[in-house]
Chains A and B, each alone.
Chain A
Amino acid sequence: QKEVEQDPGPLSVPEGAIVSLNCTYSNSAFQYFMWYRQYSRKGPELLMYTYSSGNKEDGRFTAQVDKSSKYISLFIRDSQPSDSATYLCAMKKPGSARQLTFGSGTQLTVLP
């Protein structure tokens, strides 16, 4: 069983929709959570990071962490065609130096 599970999609939504992207994890030791956006043939770009349970908002993006359920989400409001990309969750557990554990990514397409 992978430590971090992420639905690969693909996920297609119409422009303006609210998008929900999710990851589950099995190890309760994970404490630091990140979301990356990766456009085709480009390096991942850090979107958001959070160290605690609850919600963190940045513009159209909201990161949600539920440690009791071992579940994290990224919500995108008013989605745009430019949001079309693969979204990767990442997390870190104490004692693992600087290593992050990544999900396999969800491919999102926002249709105009």
Chain B
Amino acid sequence: SQTIHQWPATLVQPVGSPLSLECTVEGTSNPNLYWYRQAAGRGLQLLFYSVGIGQISSEVPQNLSASRPQDRQFILSSKKLLLSDSGFYLCAWSAGISYEQYFGPGTRLTVT
């Protein structure tokens, strides 16, 4: 069966510090991968998605970036965090042509 991991689970970072969140998927090959942010009481905002290694599409202009160095690894980064970057970051995957997405446990980021 497929499993998706995210780490760390929680993170508290000062403004201006760098960020690296990691997501890995097990049990499938060539998944589509997604990064979302969920602000309190709001829906899910798609940040990035990837259909293959090195292929990243950005949905929202911001100071975040994403990379996919391996087939089942997706990384969300920032060089300098802003207060507005606080939120719950979710990684998700989908298989092939399927539209159903499966989410990881999330990372709660607080920028202070």
Contact = CB atoms under 8 A, between A and B. Distances in A.
Given A42-B106, A43-B106, A88-B44, A100 B57 contact: no
Given A8-B41, A88-B43, A104-B43, A43 B105 contact: yes
B33 to A, nearest CB: 10
Contacts of A34: 99-100
Interface in A18-71: 32, 34, 36, 41-46, 49
A41 B103 contact: no
B90 to A, nearest CB: 5
B99 A43 contact: no
Candidate in A34, A88, A100, A103 with the most chain B CB atoms within 10 angstroms = A100
A7 B62 CA distance: 29
Contacts of A45: 103
A77 interface: no
B72 to A, nearest CB: 16
B34 interface: yes
B23 to A, nearest CB: 11
A32 B103 CA distance: 18
Interface of B: 6, 32, 34, 41-44, 46, 49, 51, 57, 59, 88, 90, 92, 94, 99-106, 108
